[in-house]
Chains A and B, each alone.
Chain A
Amino acid sequence: MRFTTAIAASLLLVSPGALLAQDQGVTDTEILLGEVEPLTGPPSLLGVAHNLGVRLAIAEANANGGVADRQLRLIAEDDGYVTSRTIQSVRKLISVDEVFALTALSGSGQAIASMPIVEQFGIPTMIPIGPLPPLYEPPVDNIFVVGQSYTEGMRQLAIYLAETYPDMNWGVVLQDDDYGNALHEGIQQAMEEVDINIVYETEYARGQTDFASEMLRVRDAEVGVLIAGGIISENIAMVRETERLGIDPVIATFWPGRVPEVLAAIGEASDGIYSVDYVAPIQSEEGQAFLELAATYLTEDEVGRVNRYTMTGYSSTRVLIEAMRGCADDLTWACTIERLQSNAPLDTNVMAPIGFGEGNRFSNSEVTIMRADYETLSFVPVD
């Protein structure tokens, strides 16, 4: 017994990190990429769309000769937005499937929870879903966040609305979680530059379905500008309630729910709703070109599921592939991270050019403010 324990104790001194090869996931014929996202359940709306974007980028790259004469392959794990499953899946991708890089870490909360593991291994990781400051402040060497923070998006939208609709009462309905906090922070920052008169502010518990009392308060306070801080179902409910109560405030929503299905579900009342995003709307020139690209490599069914999350997935994966291409002779993590950091910003046509830098792991992408057009179920940028 003692002997076994002695051996065991001495073997414990070997840490797992050193045993992993740095260029795992690379064979003579293929390079393995991995990601975790919600592919089942209600959040699958964004998880599936994102996965399509990554696969699109990979298909495009493979059709053009692959990377370093190897074809790319993706392993997607489903976590259903449950944090423990995210962590398990990340462990599996890194240690069992031995992928070369990660193209998504599910939503923001899940990504934050997975950060310690990803950081420990040092595997190049792109995070295009749910960018939140803890992911890039302070920057982690191997974690690259693509997109924009909700705070910044809210700040810009608030300033725009305050200038376009001056002297109005504002109503703010936010979720009681990180997302709501970020939006709140954005409004506070906007208030430093413009005058905003908030007459009604409330937080609701995530998952709430009935917003009758909130919208009643909005009507009572004669709110002219309503910040709808819900994601999908909540915004649908809120806007329909305003329709029912016969009020017509200027309504602002954000990119997590900027999908045509939301407009369709709301109905006519969705016409003219403001939103803000850092990818091009599908109806725009760039968006249509993107759809055509998607049609080349995806099935008709899948093209029907393309939305903004496809664009973010596509763009961030292209950036990763570009970096890997630059490391064709030396396909290691160190080189890829170095490339990601130093490559010139990559323009994928659907969003502002994505680039990082020394000590910067956040793409800080430019946002555009848009309005919804119910007729075409799309969003049009304001000018």
Chain B
Amino acid sequence: MLCDVCNKNPATVHLTEIIDEQMNELHLCEDCARHKSAAMEQQFGLSDLLAGMADFEKPSTKEEEVVTIKCPSCGLTYADFKKIGRLGCGECYNAFRKYLAPLLKRIHGSNQHIGKNPTKVKAITKLSRKKVGLSELKNQLQKAISQEAFEEAARLRDQIKAMEDKKEKES
């Protein structure tokens, strides 16, 4: 397919414009697409999207607080985050917790981590150096559930699943 504008180069950019409920399809080569609209160059990146999403977080309380709230560790403000879509340091997550928790939930559908944990890794690896068998893991899982140690149970469940999957693959 050739470009609708120059009719010379192959069309690689396909645009659908909706103007007054009229749908127009445009097939452009890269050069013409670039000329066609400077706005297209200005990519609508992830940071814009995030900044947009962060905007929804404006609480009913003072708006100013949101903008001026600052990470005590690295000095990044929530306004900075909204502009660049990146946080400044790990401590920002604590500083902006009130606003980040709902934002994370919107991005991931959850704001509760249930995967690996580096402090556990430090503690556990010494024990698990000895190869723990599947049945032993299952015992540990039962024990963890009965003690309501759910984080530990989730970790064990994943470990068992990974082992079983591996077994299945091998067989």
Bound pair (A, B): no
